[in-house]
Structure 1
Amino acid sequence: MWREESAESSAGSEPPPPSMFRHAKCSGGGEVRVQLRARKMAAVQLLLLLIVSSMATSARPPQHTPPCQVVQADVLCSGLSLRRAPVNLPHSVQMLDLSRNQVQNLTQESLAFHTAIRHLNLHANKIHFIQPGLFRDMTHLRVLDLSRNHLNVFALSRLSVGPLTSVESLDLSHNGLYTGMSDSFLADSPSLANLSMESNSITKISQSTFSGSLMLRKISLHNNVILEIEDGAFDSLDHLTELDLSKNSISCITDFNLYNLEILNLSQNSVELFQSAQSGFYNLLSLDLSQNKMPYFPLLPENNMLEYLDVSHNRLQSVNASGSSDKDPNLIFNHLRHLDMSYNQLKSIPQCFFFCMGRLQVLNVSNNCVRSFSVTNEEVLRRVRVINLSFNALQSLTFGENTLRSLEKLYIQGNDLTTLDHGLFQRLPSLKYLQLEQNNLEICTAEQNRAEPTSGDRSQPDPSSCVSFSSIRNLQFLFLSENNLRTLPANAFSDTPLKLLDLSLNPGLDLHQDSLSGLEHSLVHLLLRENNISSLNADLSSLRSLRHVDLSTNQLTTLPTWNRESSIESLNLQNNNLVTLESSTMTALEHSLKTLYMGSNPLSCCSNLDFLRMVQHSAVVVPDIETVTCVHDGYSEPVSLKKVTEEMCRTTHVPKYVVTVLVTLLVVMLVFGLLVKCCHARRHKGSRSFSA
């Protein structure tokens, strides 16, 4: 069934030297054996330890281990630094959680009496020894979690844990296990259904690996180093429905024949070829082959039930399993609902490829090199709801009449499209979400919308150079950022019930006063960030449903006009040139506004007292309040808005004209004083001359 071209065999499976066996057994028994010839030395050492221990005890108060929590029949002892299972547990305990402790050995004396346990959690301890037969009498044990321990030490002994008679779920992940070590736990597990051996060091799956666990339904071997899977390794598992082999080193599947398997994950391997046996009926529903090295499409039999297929992040250059340019007759997916071919090297996808995918609902071909995509047959992709063609090299996009009638979401961003069929989107009656960012499109004017593309009248405006967004009857979300848009004509979205419109990152965008006409009762989100707008011509006050507006990173010096009927809840004005916020506008917004972003504006401290009162005394939240500053005549540096008070402005707000009057009076008085002094000096000189 499974073949691996590599000739490497599993390494490191030789038995350890006898000393390791003895060490593991001794530590597992928990007994301290004292040799006769060392009795005296051991007695001296013990005496010293007792003295040191008594001194330490007298020096500090005794520390007691926190007690476990007992909730009905569940005992919770997680994270208590325990070195063994606590004594005096209720005999009726059904769930024992000993995770995240310091347990090293599992022995009869610590757990043998708890035969009623159904769920035993030993995750994240330091277990390196399990006494054989420990779980023999635990006939009710269903779930056993031994993940994140040191079971590779125990497995070196080649001892069997003993029968896991009733265990249905076993977790052996993160234990350093390598090839052959799992036999110690799986050799006698007749009821085992769910097995996890994730994140170990297993290199090979042999025919005998699961021979003692024939009831397995789900196996996870994620994140190992599997290079080889022997033929027939899974054939005896008639109940197996889910197999996770992701993140390994498998390079080739040439004869896949697990007819009962429903979910297969082979992602993050080195698979170059996937072929299945052509006879028989397959129950496979989900196949994940992402992040591999396949140059061609996987080959599956006609009798398949596949619903989910992921071949993303491969090296696909053709959608045919053989690599030929003709349609491959074996690619029949009558039940396929989700197909992901993103991140490959596809240059074209012929329409005939979809002929046998009548139930397909999600198609992802993003991040390829596709130059043209066309659907002209009414029966092709008639149930598809999502098409993702983003980040390709699209130059042509064609949808015929009455095609794609179920399409709800279309992603074609990042294609640098300059022209599209004038009425392309009007042909998609169910379209709700349209992603068009990072293209180079022009929006049609009202006159171009009325013109016919085939009209021979040269006096009429040519609609072929623009795209119409009017009368798309179900479109609610439209993204047009980064399209080098220069103008947004009047009534551009008439009869289109948009809820979200993104026009960001179109520097120099000129909005007509009636650009948003027709969206009065539908538009909720408006994004106009990074457009270098100095003044907003479009009338936003008429948009009665508008709740969220982003005008950040522009050149605005004044706010758009809003009245008390406004419903704005969130407003972003960061990174603009706002000095004064009109009092009437802020008053109109205050009754509905909940969130306001105002950072990086050259606000005047004392010209925005109404705004200051709103921030300090209303329910409006300013998330970036720490970065909001204003300019005050009395300070050389910008002042944090949080520190501004009305008292700071009472001496500087009104007195500007007073200062002017005072300066004028002072100058007049100085001039008058000089004139008086001059006249007095002349008169005094004349009187002296007459006396002489």
Structure 2
Amino acid sequence: MDRTVQLLVPILIFCLLYYIAAQFTTPWLPVCPPKCYCYGQAALNTATVNCSRTREGPFPVNEIPEDTDYLDLSLNNMGGIPNGAFDGLNLKGVWLQSNKLSGSNVPPDVFKPLTAIETVDLSFNEFTAIPRTLPSRLTRLLVQRNKVDRVLPEDLQGYPDLTFLEMSINNISYLPLGLFNYSSFLVDLRISYNPLNDTGIPPGVFEGLRRLQFLDLRSDSLTSIPRGLPQSITNLDLGYNSIRRLFAREFPNLPKLVNLLLNSNQIELIDPGTFDGMNSLLRLNLINNKLNILQEGVFYGLKNLRDLDLSSNRIISMADNVFGPLISVNTIDLVHNELQSLQYKVLYNPSLANLTTLFIYDNPWNCDCHLRWLRALMDMRPTLVGLTELVKCSLPINLNGSTWDLLFPGDFSCQSPVLLCQDNSDCQSTKAAHIGRRYKHSGKMFLRSLLISTLALAVAVELGLLMGTNCQSPTQWQPVCPFECVCFWGFSFNGKVLNGTYMNCTSIRHGPFPVGEVPEDTMILDLSFNEMKEIPPGAFDKILYLQGIWLQGNHLSETSVSQGVFDPLQYLEIVDLSLNNFTRIPQILPETIRQWYFVSNKISHLSSTDLERYPSLKMLQLADNNITYIPVGFFAKQTVLSVLQIAENPLTNAGIPHGLFKDAIRLTTLELKSDMLTQIPSGLPGTLQILDLSTNDIDRLYPWDFTGLSRLETLDLYSNKISVIENGTLSDLVNLRTLTLSENHLTHLSEGIFNGLVNLEILNLFGNNLKTMAENIFIPLRNLASVDLESNSFETLQYEVLYNPPFKNLTSLFISSNPWNCDCRLRWLRALVDLKPYLLFLPELVKCMQPPYLQNLTWDVLFPEDFVC
């Protein structure tokens, strides 16, 4: 027995040591070249040799392990690549940027053995032409910042599988026709920072790029928008060029464009109709141009725009309804312009219901009665105007330099106050005293950046005891703020004034969680886009009063957030974990949370008990995950849930079982857009006021689809495949105010389909294939104010449609982009335009197709008597 034990002990020890070593060593252990770092990734079954920056000298011939997948030799000061350098290797990617490589010191056949290569990076070298001898399976080629001054049609012929091509920062002045004829798989093309002018991009050069989504033409020498851009583009960057004017229909045939960057050009004028047809555009960047006036119709067609940035222009005025077409806009940035006032109708013609953020600081505002409405709006919607502490008055003189966070609507007066002052210093004292008196008598002392000492200061001003002439506003109390962050003490949040710190580190710091650096009185903490990989234990132990935390855009997952780390936060109400790597609903947050943003993670499975821990939830966003099924009982504890967003998931009707929402008895807003629904889900709660089912595959509406939804006010069915609406389908929707059926397949509107919609105000039918409608189709809609019939197939419109009975509340009619036959049957409508000039939106865009002698003439240049039979 003892002999057996003696034999077994060494074996057991060896096995134990082997097991321990296996846990902590890399499974791939090659003979690594000197001064290089070699490692394997078991999950991807790949091996990498990284010699970036660590060595200088010639190519390490015969030193690279044969089973290497990725080789990084960037910044090695190599003067060439010898013949046979890649013999025996089967690389998938090689990085050679920032060396001294050129066509003369890289042999033509040196890459030939790399038959499996997908990525080659030759950036920051000395090539004067695009190499043609790389392997044909190449999918990613980077030749950024070389000395390429000429490209030929055959340069890319040998790389038919390219999906990514980077040619920025060269000396390319011309793109020849045929250059991309063999690049049908190209998705991302970058040609920025080249001396490319308008003649250097001939029409048709992008033909064949059927899959191109990203096109970067920044910092070239363009003075106009290139012609013939591919219809597949979703992102177009034309920033830092010399474009001076945007003409009507400047961007035709770009139906998929989502992001358009025109920043830092010299744009002085945007013609009405410039963006017509760009229904998919979500973000428009016009920063740092020379815009002076925004005229009516410049944003026509941008119905789905979310973000509009007009900062750093020279805007002094804009038309009353300039933002009218932007019915979906969330953010408008007007920072650093020349605006002195802003008329009420800019935001309320019509009301921009989806606007959540308006930036207006760094303008010379004249804070008189004409701006009182906007300051009053700040009190009604405290989160609307961003950074109010930076919004300053230039006029009148008694408010010069005062910030809007310290003023009240009553201060915005058109009666000039009497200033008892002889010089500027006296006026400053008088101004300070004026503010001090207002603080004392208003009873609404905002403790926004002001501590008890400020009260004493205000009293001193009131008594005229302030010494000296430098009477600027008191210095804000500043907490000890972590490096690269911004902190404010005292702020308005969710309609409440909070006496604590708001700490914002979004996008400006990168690294671990700032443990021990966050001020203990912090109530709002923003650490979004900080590239954090974990939240360590104790991270919140001293931030006990935290009410909201934003952690989106990091690398967090359920395995990298410590168990119990949120337990100290008994006051936490808002959590944003969007754009992270969670695969399940976390069970570690406090039960107190009311708003939870969980967009763009990797959730594919939901359990019926996932939300049991969070009965106080009022808002939940689960958009852009991989959810295919929501089990019955998932919302069993969500009796106070009001807003639910589950958009952009692969959810079919089978994934939303009947009875799913039975316990969500207070649900008012439900967003299921961009899922995979083919019909209206059954069992929707009768409490709904807003229902968004846009961008699905619904093809027919049935009479039972909206039964019991009498409280519904907004129904969005944009961009489905609806071709039939059965009579009675909408009859229960007696409180519906807005109905959107745009971008569907409707060809005829039959009598009775709108029965029951007695309170409907806005009807959107844009982008269907409508040719006819029943004469009395709109009779039930006695409160109708706006009808959008743009981009259909109407040739005529019978008088009875609008006059059976006459619609006294109708204020907006959109009919452009139809093939109108301008004969005597349409004379009544053209005459109506003269009677009600405000009714027809942009008559200069309404064109005749028939009769031939009026073809392409617009209604603004025609008269009723021109419409003859």
Which of the five TM-score ranges fits, normalised by the shorter chain?
A: 0.5 to 0.7
Kindly indicate whether residue 843 of structure 2 is the aligned counterpart of residue 603 of structure 1: no
CA distance in 2, matches of 1:478, 1:117: 49
The answer (yes or no) to whether the contact 1:75–1:96 under 8 Å persists in 2 is no
Alignment of 1:400-479 (within 5 A): 400=634, 402-418=636-652, 419-443=655-679, 467-470=681-684, 472-479=685-692
For residue 268 of structure 1, the aligned residue among 507, 512, 534 is 507
The change in CA–CA distance for 1:116 and 1:502 in structure 2 (over 3 A counts) is closer
- How far did 1:583 drift? 1.3
The change in CA–CA distance for 1:508 and 1:308 in structure 2 (over 3 A counts) is closer
Residue 89 (structure 1) aligns with: 423
- 1:139-187 Cα offsets, whole Å, 9 max, x none, are 99999xxxxxxxxxxxxxxxxxxxx9999988xxxxxxxxxxxxxxxxx
Could you tell me which amino acid in structure 2 is paired with residue 263 of structure 1?
A: Y
The answer (yes or no) to whether the contact 1:320–1:328 under 8 Å persists in 2 is no
Could you tell me which amino acid in structure 2 is paired with residue 587 of structure 1?
A: Y
Residue 493 (structure 1) aligns with: 706
Could you tell me which amino acid in structure 2 is paired with residue 405 of structure 1?
A: T
For residue 613 of structure 1, the aligned residue among 831, 836, 840 is 831
The change in CA–CA distance for 1:546 and 1:71 in structure 2 (over 3 A counts) is closer
Residue 483 (structure 1) aligns with: 696
Residue aligned with 2:630, SS: strand
Alignment of 1:220-231 (within 5 A): none
For residue 573 of structure 1, the aligned residue among 789, 808, 812 is 789
Residue aligned with 1:635, SS: helix
Kindly indicate whether residue 721 of structure 2 is the aligned counterpart of residue 510 of structure 1: no
Residue 761 (structure 2) aligns with: 547
Kindly indicate whether residue 570 of structure 2 is the aligned counterpart of residue 353 of structure 1: no
- How far did 1:527 drift? 0.6
Kindly indicate whether residue 599 of structure 2 is the aligned counterpart of residue 366 of structure 1: yes
Residue 126 (structure 1) aligns with: none
- How far did 1:543 drift? 1.6
The alignment's C-alpha RMSD in Å is 4.1
Residue 283 (structure 1) aligns with: 521
The change in CA–CA distance for 1:71 and 1:271 in structure 2 (over 3 A counts) is closer
- How far did 1:380 drift? 2.1
CA distance in 1, matches of 2:696, 2:818: 27
Residue 308 (structure 1) aligns with: 548
The change in CA–CA distance for 1:314 and 1:627 in structure 2 (over 3 A counts) is same
- How far did 1:72 drift? 8.8
Residue 633 (structure 1) aligns with: 851
Larger relative contact order, structure 1 or 2 (CA cutoff 8 Å, min sep 6): 1
- 1:176-203 Cα offsets, whole Å, 9 max, x none, are xxxxxxxxxxxxxxxx752xxxxxxxxx
The answer (yes or no) to whether the contact 1:361–1:384 under 8 Å persists in 2 is yes
The change in CA–CA distance for 1:168 and 1:539 in structure 2 (over 3 A counts) is same
- How far did 1:486 drift? 2.0
Residue aligned with 2:585, SS: coil
The answer (yes or no) to whether the contact 1:310–1:339 under 8 Å persists in 2 is yes
Residue 860 (structure 2) aligns with: 642
CA distance in 2, matches of 1:423, 1:369: 26
The answer (yes or no) to whether the contact 1:297–1:318 under 8 Å persists in 2 is no
Could you tell me which amino acid in structure 2 is paired with residue 414 of structure 1?
A: E
- 1:612-634 Cα offsets, whole Å, 9 max, x none, are 22222136522221111224436
The change in CA–CA distance for 1:612 and 1:536 in structure 2 (over 3 A counts) is same
- 1:486-510 Cα offsets, whole Å, 9 max, x none, are 2222121111121111112112543
Alignment of 1:187-226 (within 5 A): 193-194=475-476, 216-218=477-479
Residue 381 (structure 1) aligns with: 614
Residue aligned with 1:586, SS: helix
For residue 624 of structure 2, the aligned residue among 391, 410, 415 is 391
- 1:203-240 Cα offsets, whole Å, 9 max, x none, are xxxxxxxxxxxxx445778869x9xxxxxxxxxxxxx9
The answer (yes or no) to whether the contact 1:141–1:167 under 8 Å persists in 2 is no
Alignment of 1:316-335 (within 5 A): 316-318=556-558, 320-322=560-562, 327-328=563-564, 331-335=567-571
Residue 102 (structure 2) aligns with: none
- 1:59-80 Cα offsets, whole Å, 9 max, x none, are xxxxxxxxxx99898889xxxx
Kindly indicate whether residue 811 of structure 2 is the aligned counterpart of residue 594 of structure 1: yes
The change in CA–CA distance for 1:329 and 1:577 in structure 2 (over 3 A counts) is closer
CA distance in 1, matches of 2:611, 2:780: 50
CA distance in 2, matches of 1:117, 1:534: 65
CA distance in 1, matches of 2:790, 2:540: 55
Could you tell me which amino acid in structure 1 is paired with residue 647 of structure 2?
A: Q
Alignment of 1:160-175 (within 5 A): none
Residue aligned with 1:434, SS: strand
The answer (yes or no) to whether the contact 2:717–2:741 under 8 Å persists in 1 is yes
The answer (yes or no) to whether the contact 2:591–2:616 under 8 Å persists in 1 is yes
The change in CA–CA distance for 1:314 and 1:89 in structure 2 (over 3 A counts) is same
CA distance in 2, matches of 1:437, 1:286: 30
- How far did 1:643 drift? 3.2
- Is the radius of gyration larger for structure 1 or structure 2? 1
The change in CA–CA distance for 1:403 and 1:603 in structure 2 (over 3 A counts) is same
- How far did 1:563 drift? 2.1
- TM-score, normalised via structure 1 length: 0.53
The answer (yes or no) to whether the contact 2:758–2:783 under 8 Å persists in 1 is yes
Q: Which runs of 5+ in 1 are unaligned?
A: 1-68, 77-86, 98-114, 120-138, 144-163, 171-191, 195-215, 227-239, 245-259, 445-466, 654-692
For residue 736 of structure 2, the aligned residue among 523, 528, 536 is 523
CA distance in 2, matches of 1:636, 1:377: 64
Could you tell me which amino acid in structure 2 is paired with residue 292 of structure 1?
A: N
The change in CA–CA distance for 1:433 and 1:166 in structure 2 (over 3 A counts) is farther
- TM-score, normalised via structure 2 length: 0.43
Residue aligned with 1:397, SS: coil
The answer (yes or no) to whether the contact 1:358–1:380 under 8 Å persists in 2 is yes
CA distance in 2, matches of 1:488, 1:73: 61
The change in CA–CA distance for 1:475 and 1:73 in structure 2 (over 3 A counts) is closer
The change in CA–CA distance for 1:505 and 1:469 in structure 2 (over 3 A counts) is farther
- How far did 1:514 drift? 2.3
The change in CA–CA distance for 1:379 and 1:507 in structure 2 (over 3 A counts) is closer
Residue aligned with 1:286, SS: strand
- 1:413-465 Cα offsets, whole Å, 9 max, x none, are 11121222222123211111111011112436xxxxxxxxxxxxxxxxxxxxx
The change in CA–CA distance for 1:220 and 1:506 in structure 2 (over 3 A counts) is same
Could you tell me which amino acid in structure 1 is paired with residue 651 of structure 2?
A: L
- How far did 1:400 drift? 3.9
CA distance in 2, matches of 1:486, 1:243: 52
Residue aligned with 1:272, SS: coil
CA distance in 1, matches of 2:505, 2:604: 30
The answer (yes or no) to whether the contact 1:261–1:283 under 8 Å persists in 2 is yes
